[in-house]
Structure 1
Amino acid sequence: MRIPVRKQVMWWGVAAASLAVTLWLLGQAVLPFILGAGVAYLLDPVADRLERAGLSRTLAVVVITFAVVIAFVVVVLLLVPVLIRQAWALIEIGPVMIEQGRVFVTSRFPDLLPDAAGLEQTLRDIQTTVGDQAGRITGTILGSVRGLIGTVALLVIVPVVAFYLLLDWDHMVEAIDRHLPREHAPTIRLLAREIDEALSGFLRGQAVVIAILGTWYAIMLMLVGLPFGFFIGIMAAVLSFIPYVGVLIGGATAIGVALFSFWGDPLWISAVVAIFALGQIVEGNYLQPKIVGGHVGLHPVWLLLALSVFGALFGFVGLVMAVPMAAALGVLARFLIARYRDSSFYTGQAMPEEPAQPIMVEVVPTGTVADRQRAARMAADRARSQQHLAEMQEDMSRRDDQG
């Protein structure tokens, strides 16, 4: 007997809620495994391509692991120290820049500000707050980052988990497919493919865009001699996964530093503005449409909402899972909307009743029915003859007994 759809939805909803509660309770304990699975998912297409090139799966995974380890070591040894040093210097010089901004505003535009004293006091408060809290906040952040990177979980468990999951990725996908509920397996496969397209298109495409923008901003800002240009360029590129956020924050920071450093030399200030303007034009007209594409289905507002909600619910684990969960929920939302538009709730028309079970008709050679009828009549005649003969014999036996 078929299980009602409502009951199936209830049971699967309970399973999903149980999984969410489990992740919330485990918290940081499952973070290395989630990161390892994410790394394996991102690198699986590379492993498949190496397999098509003639390498075995094991050799392909070994080559990928070696390349990733080398890239990680290079980044940690060469780039991270520069980023930390420039970030620290930028935060330390922040109060001085704010003071200059305050003096400039109060001296050049006193008539444009209805409450100059209030604005001056506000700027002084901001300066004091930044100066007092910058060291402590930066030390806390950098200490957390160092602690996070230095933990055994992230340096050992994540690579090990990623290695073994990448090695058996195709087998795991096949095993999951075998355990799908048979009635809904085609629909689940379709949704999984759409989620994969949205997620992989966003993550892999955005990674390429960030690499290109980071290289452009960092190199060009260093060439024009902007202090902290390398850090500002990398920061603007990393934040560009949310459209316009990276260029706004990075551009505002770069222009502020340029005004502080190149005051009286508008050529270099204009050069900084031109670098970000050109980067934004290339990103909006070529990089995003050609590399990321518009089919990924992750709107910036939806992405921000997912980061806020999952970060508030599950902490750092939620931030890590926000993008894949946003992609999955977006696909499911589009699927449910399509179902809704096909339902009577949207059309206002009652759904047609399910057709009755068809009558099975057996196709037989010509004359088969007539032969079966003839055989049935002959069998009936023989049965009647045998019954008549039995009656005659019984009658003769009765007469003999009477005589």
Structure 2
Amino acid sequence: MTDNIDTGPDSDPDQRPSPARILNPAIRLEVQRAIAWVVVVGLAVLFVYISQSILVIFGGLVFAALIDGGARLLGRVLPVGRTLRILIVLLLSIAFFTWLFYFTGSQISQEAAQLPTLVQQQGIRTLAWLQNRGVAIDLSTVQNMAGQLMNGVSLVTRYIGGFVGGLTTLFLILIIGLYVALEPRLYERGLGWMLPAEQRGDFHVTMVRMATTMRRLLAGRLIGMVFEGVLTYALLAFWGVPMAALLGILTGLLAFLPNVGAIVSGLLMVLVGFSGGVDMGLYTIAVYVVVQVFDGYVVVPVIARKTVDLAPALVLAAQLVMGILFGILGLFLADPLMAMIKVALERRSERLQARMAGTTELPGGA
């Protein structure tokens, strides 16, 4: 006759459940959900704290795409190594800006110093003219609104702090962009190694498409900037509008910002034009309309067919959000960021379509 030995889990201390284990499945599920929410909130808080650094890194990638595009274009006519082509692109860029500041530096600096005063005077005259026409406008209220707008537009200045911080941020963007442009495959492989092996091929295809889209987008932006800047300067100088060179440069630079840039440059142009009389003011309005209409209906459609075509309302919304959150840096990077998001979403849609079709080959290839 054998003894009755209890072989249940409670008889062996090693087989007993841990005191920290939740036996109730419903309670365990709720705890898992709570942990998931804590992780999501923690990641969101972390993203807020490092968002400025991420934006600077993205700015470096944009600059790298700009350098890479110039090197690729130069490679079509100059069969030399990639590093040498990048060096030539950088030297040509430095030479251009040196020439620009050497020949127009003193004139541009004087005009830039006079522009804020001129704009303020013209703004006061415009408000006074509206008041004389029966429009009820309180000058103090307008000034307070303008001050609040300037204070609330940018959070980035509180993080990078003034002129020195701005130069530091610009320096970091240039250095990051230069390193990435010299060895883009190195950083792409580094990111790919962080992913599972079965996802690395799709990651490579996505990165290639993003890089191509970024180069085309920046090439289109540069063409538009040169066109608007040169044409604006030529038309304004023809009529003898003050600060024609400065307005041409500002128009060209602001052309990098779709929607917002055209409004700001046009407002500055018209204010300066009316400082020389009604005829000159009307002429500057005509110049603005001609430049924007020709750019919008001729240059932009031609460029968009070979680059990336983004919905204007979507770009404007992204600019407003990025401008409020990150200031001028976010405003400049909103358009490239939306282009990258569009590429990622299109790639995801292709994967879903391939999965639904039961195939392993994704449409579009690399």
TM-score normalised by structure 1 residue count: 0.61
Contact 1:311-1:319 within 8 A present in 2 as well? yes
Q: Does residue 39 of structure 1 match 2:63? A: yes
Structure 2 residue identity aligned to 1:240: A
User: Which of the residues 214, 217, 221 maps onto 1:202?
Assistant: 217
Q: 1:194 to 1:46 in 2, by over 3 A?
A: same
Provide the residue aligned with 1:10 in structure 2: none
Provide the residue aligned with 2:6 in structure 1: none
Contact 1:40-1:166 within 8 A present in 2 as well? yes
Shift of residue 31, structure 1, vs aligned partner: 6.2
How far apart in 2 are the matches of 1:325 and 1:297?
Answer: 13
Note the residue ranges of structure 2 that are not aligned, 5 or more in a row.
1-37, 360-366
Provide the residue aligned with 1:235 in structure 2: 250
Where relative contact order (Cα < 8 A, 6+ residues apart) is larger, the structure is 2
Contact 1:95-1:130 within 8 A present in 2 as well? no
Structure 1 residue identity aligned to 2:118: I
Residue-by-residue CA offset, 1:10-37 (whole Å, 9 max, x unaligned): xxxx999998766643455566654443
Q: 1:180 to 1:39 in 2, by over 3 A?
A: same
How far apart in 1 are the matches of 2:336 and 2:231?
Answer: 28
Shift of residue 288, structure 1, vs aligned partner: 0.8
User: Which of the residues 74, 85, 89 maps onto 1:64?
Assistant: 89
Q: How does 1:171-182 map to 2 (within 5 A)?
A: 171-173=186-188, 176=191, 180-182=195-197
Contact 2:251-2:261 within 8 A present in 1 as well? yes
Residue-by-residue CA offset, 1:218-250 (whole Å, 9 max, x unaligned): 232133122233333333333334545444443
Provide the residue aligned with 2:273 in structure 1: 258
Provide the residue aligned with 2:116 in structure 1: 91
Larger Rg: 1 or 2? 1
How far apart in 2 are the matches of 1:239 and 1:147?
Answer: 23
Please identify, of 299-308 and 22-31, the stretch whose mean Cα deviation from structure 2 is larger: 22-31
How far apart in 1 are the matches of 2:237 and 2:166?
Answer: 28
Structure 2 residue identity aligned to 1:285: Y
Please identify, of 21-30 and 215-224, the stretch whose mean Cα deviation from structure 2 is larger: 21-30
Shift of residue 182, structure 1, vs aligned partner: 3.6
Structure 2 residue identity aligned to 1:40: A
How far apart in 1 are the matches of 2:251 and 2:349?
Answer: 36
How far apart in 1 are the matches of 2:271 and 2:307?
Answer: 36
How far apart in 2 are the matches of 1:58 and 1:93?
Answer: 46
Contact 2:259-2:312 within 8 A present in 1 as well? no
How far apart in 2 are the matches of 1:95 and 1:313?
Answer: 27
Provide the residue aligned with 2:321 in structure 1: 309
Provide the residue aligned with 2:164 in structure 1: 147
Contact 2:69-2:219 within 8 A present in 1 as well? no
How far apart in 2 are the matches of 1:144 and 1:83?
Answer: 26
Secondary structure of the residue aligned to 2:118 is helix
Aligned residues: 315
Identity of aligned residues (%): 21
Q: 1:160 to 1:234 in 2, by over 3 A?
A: closer
Provide the residue aligned with 2:363 in structure 1: none
Q: Does residue 214 of structure 1 match 2:235? A: no
User: Which of the residues 337, 340, 344 maps onto 1:332?
Assistant: 344
